């Protein structure tokens, strides 16, 4: 003690103390324990829709600011080209077929709130691990991972069963059916067939009745009664679900309770933003995880009047610019609470833009820049290469661009490790911890190979040959574009994963993405000396990968995705489901 007293009385003490105080704070990661996490995930946003990825007509200053202040990933890959499987992979760090969240059929996403499929209860999300580490965990916005299993209120797939303390948003996904003024979107082609079948059966029944009345045909009234009954039952069997999509799927929930059924779309954006900022304010004194899962920029492109007509890309551009403004509001809330230096912010999209989404001459889907293909295409880059931005001041070097293969699945081990948790050891985790790459302590990502699925069908695989820097990609299956050469499946609305709508390649199509990111010039044994070597090496990697797969229940089987009235979330007495508790408040 006497020594310390003498030191402070020394004439050198004052300048020494001031010098220490004025030193820049160290950027050692060990000085920050349990950072906050704000994960921002856009819906259907194309990589070419963002300013910092090359778009010079849609204004995204806030997303661009994140990239300027942090790290931009240029080869950030979704594990699936559609919402449900991609988000399952994001939440679990695992390829979606490991949890049964990818499809063997054409039903590749969850179709109803009243389906029984969803993210299995035995899957461990990053939210669940952070919850165990003392984090306050919140999900605001879109879920699309299922709700119930066996009864209306078991909530076995609900966010609160998967590690989130608080949920406000849509258990389903935004669709055009949620907007009364828009053309119905859900299962549009199948609905047309049902209507046609109903009209055909009805016409047959009416013709038979008229023929009986006029004596032109001889048929018993009992037979006609049965035919009429069948017509009515057929109509009721499908119209009870598809006729009320807005009431069954377009609902808003707070935790387990329904707040709007159907949702009032005019105020949805404001409520989601309010809930997000409120969550930050409520939890500023403890470590928190906020997963803001935007409804933007999925159709019907809900956009407030303030942003309508502002962009050069019609309603879609307006919607993206509004989402960017929402990002800015969330960043401002973080700054206002003094949390900027202790908060890791991440921005991405769940998959590529939807090229085929059009109404007349209006383009309602996104743009994927120089990359071929889009949403629903498991192999082509446009369906799976997405924006990926990290910001953590003082830890991640600002203005950094990384062109290494990374995945949305990497968020899982990255946030778990930073929160002080442990990655589960009883299952395969396909994600890799990004922290060394983001901090610049290693040159390469942890991914040597990435596998690209369309449903459960492997369409492509990439090999990052680290010693040369080459990124090889082999396509085993590709969709057949319609009309030919159009770059998408405009005649279908979605590109299929199997059947007559795809082409199988033997030998595979091979591209070197670092030289040909647009996948425009397939290589061959004649043009690439390493062709056979590369194909063999990727083939061995696929065999090794397949040996790690184990059979699991199919969550997206037909029996799991169909509408089951006894599972329908309802804020009244079924089937009279209607409420607006936000208006009451």
What confidence score (pLDDT) does residue 184 get?
86
The Cα–Cα gap between 186 and 176 comes to 8
- Using left for φ > 0, alpha for ψ between -120 and 50, and beta otherwise, residue 94 falls in beta
The Cα–Cα gap between 177 and 141 comes to 18
Name the residue among 2, 32, 13 with its Cα closest to residue 342.
32
Q: Name the band, by pLDDT with cuts 50, 70 and 90, for residue 29.
A: low
Q: Name the band, by pLDDT with cuts 50, 70 and 90, for residue 187.
A: confident
* Mean pLDDT for all residues in the chain: 93
Cβ-contact 79, 407 below 8 angstroms: yes
The beta-strand segments (E) located in 272-369 are 288-293, 343-349, 358-359, 362-363
Name the residue among 291, 409, 405 with its Cα closest to residue 344.
291
- Active site residue: 76, 83, 447, 497, which one? 83
Does residue 571 have an active-site annotation? no
The Cα–Cα gap between 403 and 337 comes to 33
- Is the confidence at residue 6, as pLDDT, over 50? no
What confidence score (pLDDT) does residue 24 get?
40
Per-residue pLDDT, averaged over 243-267, amounts to 97
Query: Looking at per-residue confidence, does 381 or 206 come out higher?
Result: 381
The Cα–Cα gap between 116 and 112 comes to 9
Query: Looking at per-residue confidence, does 221 or 339 come out higher?
Result: 339
Name the residue among 78, 146, 79, 81 with its Cα closest to residue 114.
146
Does residue 83 have an active-site annotation? yes
Helix axes 314-336, 268-282, angle to 10 degrees: 20
Cβ neighbours for 437, distance < 8 A, ≥ 6 positions apart: 402, 404, 406, 444, 445, 446
Per-residue pLDDT, averaged over 347-365, amounts to 93
What confidence score (pLDDT) does residue 31 get?
55
Please, which residues bridge with residue 291 across strands?
39, 139
| Cα Dmax for the chain | 121
What confidence score (pLDDT) does residue 224 get?
87
Query: Looking at per-residue confidence, does 96 or 29 come out higher?
Result: 96
Alpha helices in 514-561 (DSSP H): 531-546, 558-561
- Is the confidence at residue 17, as pLDDT, over 80? no
Name the residue among 387, 564, 451 with its Cα closest to residue 98.
451
Residue range 297-337, pLDDT digits in tens = 999 999 999 999 999 999 999 999 999 999 999 999 999 99
Per-residue pLDDT, averaged over 55-72, amounts to 97
Q: Name the band, by pLDDT with cuts 50, 70 and 90, for residue 26.
A: very low
Residue range 113-128, pLDDT digits in tens = 999 999 999 999 999 9
What confidence score (pLDDT) does residue 185 get?
86
- Is the confidence at residue 359, as pLDDT, over 50? yes
What confidence score (pLDDT) does residue 4 get?
35
Q: Name the band, by pLDDT with cuts 50, 70 and 90, for residue 584.
A: low
- Is the confidence at residue 28, as pLDDT, over 80? no
- Active site residue: 7, 52, 76, 144, which one? 144
What confidence score (pLDDT) does residue 212 get?
84
The Cα–Cα gap between 461 and 474 comes to 6
Query: Looking at per-residue confidence, does 212 or 567 come out higher?
Result: 567
Q: Name the band, by pLDDT with cuts 50, 70 and 90, for residue 33.
A: confident
- Please state the three-class secondary structure of 12-78 as a single string: CHHHHHHHHHHCCCCCCHHHCCCCEEEEEEECCCCHHHCHHHCCCCCCCHHHHHHHHHCEEEEEEEC
State the first-to-last Cα distance of the chain, in angstroms, to the nearest integer: 62
Q: Name the band, by pLDDT with cuts 50, 70 and 90, for residue 566.
A: very high
Please, which residues bridge with residue 292 across strands?
40, 140
Tell me which H or E stretch contains 86: helix 83-92
């Amino acid at each position: 003690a006497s020594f310390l007293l003498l030191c402070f009385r020394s004439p050198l003490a004052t300048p020494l103390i001031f010098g220490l105080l004025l030193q820049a704070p160290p950027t050692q990661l060990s000085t920050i324990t349990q950072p906050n996490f704000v994960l921002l995930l856009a819906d259907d946003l194309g990589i070419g829709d963002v300013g910092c990825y090359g778009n010079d007509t849609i204004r995204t200053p806030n997303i661009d600011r994140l990239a300027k202040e942090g790290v931009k990933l240029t080869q950030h890959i979704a594990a699936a080209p559609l919402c449900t499987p991609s988000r399952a992979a994001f939440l679990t760090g695992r390829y979606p077929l490991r949890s049964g969240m990818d499809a063997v059929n054409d039903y590749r996403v969850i179709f109803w709130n009243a389906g029984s499929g969803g993210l299995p209860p035995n899957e461990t999300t990053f939210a669940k691990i952070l919850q165990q580490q003392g984090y306050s965990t919140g999900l605001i916005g879109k879920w699309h991972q299922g709700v119930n299993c066996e009864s209306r209120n078991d909530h076995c797939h609900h966010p609160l069963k998967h590690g989130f303390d608080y949920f406000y948003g849509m258990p389903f996904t935004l669709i055009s059916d949620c907007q009364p003024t828009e053309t119905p979107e859900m299962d549009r082609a199948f609905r047309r067939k049902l209507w046609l079948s109903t009209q055909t059966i009805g016409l047959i029944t009416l013709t038979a009745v008229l023929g009986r009345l006029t004596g032109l045909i001889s048929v018993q009234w009992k037979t006609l009664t049965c035919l009429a009954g069948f017509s009515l039952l057929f109509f009721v069997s499908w119209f009870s679900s598809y006729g009320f999509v807005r009431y069954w799927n377009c609902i808003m929930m707070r935790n387990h309770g329904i707040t709007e059924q159907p949702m009032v779309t005019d105020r949805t954006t404001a409520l989601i933003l309010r809930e997000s900022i409120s969550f930050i304010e409520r939890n500023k004194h403890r470590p928190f995880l906020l997963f803001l899962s935007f409804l933007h920029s999925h159709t019907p492109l809900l956009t407030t009047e303030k942003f309508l007509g502002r962009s050069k890309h019609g309603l879609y551009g307006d919607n993206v610019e509004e989402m960017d403004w929402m990002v800015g509001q969330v960043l401002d809330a973080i700054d206002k609470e003094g949390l900027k230096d202790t908060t890791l912010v991440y921005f991405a999209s769940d998959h590529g833009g939807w090229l085929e989404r059009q109404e007349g001459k209006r383009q309602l889907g996104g743009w994927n820049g120089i990359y071929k293909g889009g949403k629903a295409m498991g192999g082509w880059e446009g369906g799976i290469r997405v924006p990926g931005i990290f910001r953590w001041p003082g830890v991640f070097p600002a203005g950094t661009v990384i062109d290494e293969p990374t995945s949305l699945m990497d968020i899982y081990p990255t946030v778990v490790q930073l929160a002080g948790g442990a990655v589960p050891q009883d299952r395969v985790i396909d994600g890799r911890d990004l922290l060394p790459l983001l901090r610049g302590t290693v040159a390469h990502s942890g991914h040597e190979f990435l596998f690209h699925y369309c449903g459960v069908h492997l369409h492509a695989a990439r090999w990052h040959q680290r010693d040369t820097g080459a990124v090889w990609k082999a396509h085993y299956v590709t969709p057949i574009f319609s009309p030919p050469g159009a770059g998408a499946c405009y005649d279908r609305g979605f590109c299929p994963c199997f059947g007559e709508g795809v082409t199988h390649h033997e030998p595979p199509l091979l591209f070197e993405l670092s030289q040909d990111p647009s996948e425009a010039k397939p290589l061959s044994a004649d043009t690439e000396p390493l062709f056979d070597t590369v194909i063999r090496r990727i083939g061995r990697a696929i065999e090794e990968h397949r040996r790690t797969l184990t059979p699991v229940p199919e969550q997206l089987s037909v029996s799991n995705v169909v509408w089951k009235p006894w599972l329908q979330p309802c804020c009244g007495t079924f089937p009279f489901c209607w409420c607006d508790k936000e208006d009451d408040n």
